[in-house]
Structure 1
C-alpha cells in the first residue's frame, strides 16, 4: 500500500496568514511595555511631549499591511478567515498565560513575580487588542473591498490609505481605552491615542512601495487570482 499525503495548496495564502498571526501575537506581548520619548512639554495645558506609545507599535502596523494584502488579493472572505484565526490564536495565548501564571511555581524558581508582572498583564492587553483588532481589521478589509469594487485594479494607493485611515482609527481608540484606561488618564491618554494613530498611518504611507510589491508578488503566485483583461 502506498503512503498518502495531502497536496500542499499552490498559493501563498497560508504563509500570509501565518505571518499575520505571528506579528499579532508578538505585538500583543510587546504592548505590555509603555515607552516614552522626549521631555515634558505642554502647549495650552495639553501634553505635546513626551511621546507615549507601547512596544506593540514596532510590529503591529505590519499586521495592517498584511491585512491589506489579504483583502486586496483574497477578498472579504479570505480576509475574514485570517482575522478570525488571529482572534482564536490570541485568545488561546491569553488563556494559556493566565493558566500558567496561576499554576504553582516550582520551589527553586524565583521568577513568579516577574512572570506575573509581564505576562500576567497580557490578558487585558489581548482583550484590548482583540476588540480593537476585530473592529479595525474588519473595517479595514470592508473599506478596501468596497473601494476595489469601484476602482477595480486601479488606484491601489487610495484603497490602501483609505482603509487604513478608517481601520486604524477604530483599532487605536478601542485598544488604548480598553488596555490603559485608568492606568494613564486625561491628556496623557489622548496623547497616547493620537500618537499611536498618526504613527500607524505614517507607517502605512512609508511602506506603500513595499505593500505594492508584496501585493504584486502574492497576486502572481495565486493561480486563482484573475486580473481583468485590459
Structure 2
C-alpha cells in the first residue's frame, strides 16, 4: 500500500466523495489555466474513460448504495458548459464527439488486448477481465446516454444563454441545462447498463441516488464555471497550445 493509499484509507466514504469532487473540478480548472481550450478537450477522454471504469464499483454513501463514477462523469458537463460559455456551441459539440471517440476506441483496443493469451508470469489478466470484459455493455449505455444528454446540454445551454445572456444569469443557464441533461443521462444509462443485472429494489435505489448525486455535483460545479469565466475574461488562460 502506497503512502497516499495508507493516508486515504482512514477517510470515510463521504469524505473521499468530497475529496474526489474537488480533485476533479480543480483538475479541470488547472488544465484550462495551463493549456487553454485544449486543456478542456483533454479532460473529456479522461472523464469518460475513468467514469466508465469507476461506475463498476459499488459503494455506500450515508448508508445508501451508489455506483462510483458519478462525479468524474458529471465533470464532463462542466467542461462542455465552459466551452459553450467561452467559445460557443461548436466548440462544445466538438468535445462531445471527442468523448464518443475516446470511449469507443478504449473498448475496441482493450477487448483485443484481453484476447492475448497470458504467459505463466502474468498476474493481471483476471483483473483486466473483471473491468473491461463488462465494459462493452457499460460503454454502450454510456455512449447512448452521453450522446443524448451531452448534445441536449449543449443545445439547452445555448437556448438559456440566448434567453438570459447577462453574466448574472450564468448560474441559471448552467443549472437549468445540466440538471435536465443529467436526468436524461441517468435514466438512459441506468436502464441500459444495469437493468436485469440487479434486484429491482437495488436498481431503483441506484437510479434515484445516481441522479441525486449528479444533481448535487451540478449545483456544486457552478462556482467553478464562474471561476473559468473570470479567468477567461481576464485573459488568464494560456493560448500557447491553441496558437501552435
- Shorter-chain TM range is 0.7 to 0.9
Q: Which structure has the larger Rg? A: 1
The residue number in structure 2 matching 1:194 is: 208
Following the alignment from structure 2 to structure 1, what is the Cα–Cα distance between the partners of residues 178 and 230? 19
Following the alignment from structure 1 to structure 2, what is the Cα–Cα distance between the partners of residues 219 and 61? 25
Alignment partner of 1:89 is 2:97: no
The residue number in structure 1 matching 2:178 is: 164
Count of matched residue positions in the alignment of Structure 1 and Structure 2: 204
Alignment partner of 1:17 is 2:52: no
Give unpaired runs (5+ residues) of structure 2: 1-34, 240-244
Following the alignment from structure 1 to structure 2, what is the Cα–Cα distance between the partners of residues 163 and 56? 21
Give unpaired runs (5+ residues) of structure 1: 1-10, 39-49, 225-230
The residue number in structure 1 matching 2:163 is: 150
The residue number in structure 1 matching 2:150 is: 137
Secondary structure, counterpart of 1:78 in structure 2: helix
Following the alignment from structure 1 to structure 2, what is the Cα–Cα distance between the partners of residues 110 and 203? 37
Structure number having the greater strand percentage: 1
CA contact (8 A) 1:12 1:218 kept: no
Structure number having the greater helix percentage: 2
The root-mean-square deviation of aligned C-alpha atoms, in Å, is 2.2
Following the alignment from structure 1 to structure 2, what is the Cα–Cα distance between the partners of residues 179 and 36? 19
- Give how far 1:136 is off: 0.9
Following the alignment from structure 2 to structure 1, what is the Cα–Cα distance between the partners of residues 149 and 188? 9
User: Which whole-Å deviations, capped at 9, do the CAs of 1:187-213 have from their partners, x for residues lacking one?
Assistant: 321211111111111112123212211
Following the alignment from structure 1 to structure 2, what is the Cα–Cα distance between the partners of residues 168 and 74? 22
1:52-71 pair list within 5 angstroms:
52-71=65-84
Task: Say which of 217, 222, 228 aligns to 1:203.
Answer: 217
Q: 1:63 to 1:185 in 2, by over 3 A?
A: same
Alignment partner of 1:212 is 2:223: no
Q: 1:189 to 1:205 in 2, by over 3 A?
A: same
Following the alignment from structure 2 to structure 1, what is the Cα–Cα distance between the partners of residues 230 and 165? 15
- Give how far 1:159 is off: 0.3
Alignment partner of 1:32 is 2:46: no
Following the alignment from structure 2 to structure 1, what is the Cα–Cα distance between the partners of residues 199 and 89? 36
Following the alignment from structure 2 to structure 1, what is the Cα–Cα distance between the partners of residues 212 and 165? 28
- Give how far 1:223 is off: 11
